[in-house]
Protein backbone atom coordinates (compact mmCIF):
# COMPACT_ATOMS: atom_id res chain seq x y z
CA UNK A 1 0.00 0.00 0.00
CA UNK A 2 1.56 3.33 -1.06
CA UNK A 3 1.31 6.61 0.85
CA UNK A 4 -1.66 7.86 -1.17
CA UNK A 5 -3.72 4.73 -0.67
CA UNK A 6 -2.79 4.64 2.98
CA UNK A 7 -3.87 8.27 3.36
CA UNK A 8 -7.16 7.62 1.55
CA UNK A 9 -7.87 4.58 3.72
CA UNK A 10 -7.11 6.58 6.82
CA UNK A 11 -9.42 9.39 5.67
CA UNK A 12 -12.19 6.87 5.00
CA UNK A 13 -11.91 5.54 8.55
CA UNK A 14 -11.67 9.02 10.05
CA UNK A 15 -14.90 10.09 8.34
CA UNK A 16 -16.82 7.63 10.46
CA UNK A 17 -15.60 9.15 13.69
CA UNK A 18 -18.16 10.47 16.17
CA UNK A 19 -17.29 13.79 17.86
CA UNK A 20 -17.65 14.19 21.62
CA UNK A 21 -21.08 15.31 22.80
CA UNK A 22 -21.30 18.95 23.77
CA UNK A 23 -24.01 21.08 25.30
CA UNK A 24 -23.24 24.76 24.91
CA UNK A 25 -26.80 26.11 24.84
CA UNK A 26 -26.81 27.64 28.33
CA UNK A 27 -23.33 29.12 27.99
CA UNK A 28 -24.13 30.69 24.62
CA UNK A 29 -27.33 32.23 25.98
CA UNK A 30 -25.34 33.51 28.99
CA UNK A 31 -22.74 35.15 26.74
CA UNK A 32 -25.38 36.68 24.48
CA UNK A 33 -27.37 38.00 27.45
CA UNK A 34 -24.24 39.78 28.64
CA UNK A 35 -23.45 41.23 25.21
CA UNK A 36 -26.86 42.14 23.93
CA UNK A 37 -29.25 44.02 26.18
CA UNK A 38 -32.09 43.06 23.83
CA UNK A 39 -31.36 39.38 24.38
CA UNK A 40 -32.78 38.85 27.84
CA UNK A 41 -33.23 35.31 29.15
CA UNK A 42 -36.95 34.48 29.13
CA UNK A 43 -37.08 33.73 32.87
CA UNK A 44 -35.94 37.31 33.56
CA UNK A 45 -38.92 38.91 31.93
CA UNK A 46 -41.51 38.61 34.76
CA UNK A 47 -38.91 40.01 37.17
CA UNK A 48 -38.29 42.85 34.76
CA UNK A 49 -42.01 43.71 34.68
CA UNK A 50 -42.28 43.57 38.48
CA UNK A 51 -39.25 45.88 38.75
CA UNK A 52 -40.76 48.29 36.24
CA UNK A 53 -44.09 48.39 38.10
CA UNK A 54 -42.35 48.91 41.44
CA UNK A 55 -40.37 51.79 39.96
CA UNK A 56 -43.52 53.32 38.51
CA UNK A 57 -45.17 53.29 41.94
CA UNK A 58 -42.05 54.28 43.90
CA UNK A 59 -41.09 57.39 41.91
CA UNK A 60 -44.37 59.36 42.55
CA UNK A 61 -44.26 58.23 46.20
CA UNK A 62 -40.74 59.69 46.64
CA UNK A 63 -41.70 62.94 44.91
CA UNK A 64 -44.80 63.25 47.13
CA UNK A 65 -42.73 62.56 50.24
CA UNK A 66 -40.24 65.33 49.39
CA UNK A 67 -43.04 67.84 48.73
CA UNK A 68 -44.87 66.96 51.95
CA UNK A 69 -41.65 67.20 53.96
CA UNK A 70 -41.05 70.71 52.63
CA UNK A 71 -44.61 71.81 53.43
CA UNK A 72 -44.70 70.42 56.93
CA UNK A 73 -43.02 72.36 59.75
CA UNK A 74 -39.59 71.22 60.68
CA UNK A 75 -39.98 69.24 63.98
CA UNK A 76 -36.95 71.04 65.40
CA UNK A 77 -38.14 74.47 64.27
CA UNK A 78 -39.73 75.41 67.62
CA UNK A 79 -36.70 74.34 69.59
CA UNK A 80 -34.16 76.19 67.42
CA UNK A 81 -36.39 79.26 67.49
CA UNK A 82 -36.39 79.31 71.32
CA UNK A 83 -32.64 78.85 71.53
CA UNK A 84 -31.98 81.67 69.10
CA UNK A 85 -34.35 83.95 71.14
CA UNK A 86 -32.45 83.14 74.38
CA UNK A 87 -29.10 83.81 72.75
CA UNK A 88 -30.27 87.17 71.52
Query: Is the Cβ of residue 4 or residue 88 nearer to other proteins in the bound state?
Result: 4
Phi/psi class of residue 65: alpha, beta or left (left: φ > 0; alpha: ψ in -120 to 50)?
A: alpha
- Phi and psi, residue 24, nearest 5°: -105, 5
Q: Which of 28, 62, 66, 86 binds other proteins (CB under 8 A)?
A: 28
Indicate whether 38 belongs to the interface with other proteins (CB under 8 A).
Answer: yes
The least distance separating other proteins from the CB of residue 15, rounded to whole angstroms, comes to 6
Sequence-distant (≥ 6) Cβ neighbours of residue 41 within 8 angstroms = 29, 33
Query: Is the Cβ of residue 14 or residue 61 nearer to other proteins in the bound state?
Result: 14
Indicate whether 39 belongs to the interface with other proteins (CB under 8 A).
Answer: yes
Amino acid sequence: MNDNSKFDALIARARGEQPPRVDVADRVIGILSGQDARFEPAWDRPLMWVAALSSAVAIPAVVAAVLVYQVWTDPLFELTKAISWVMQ
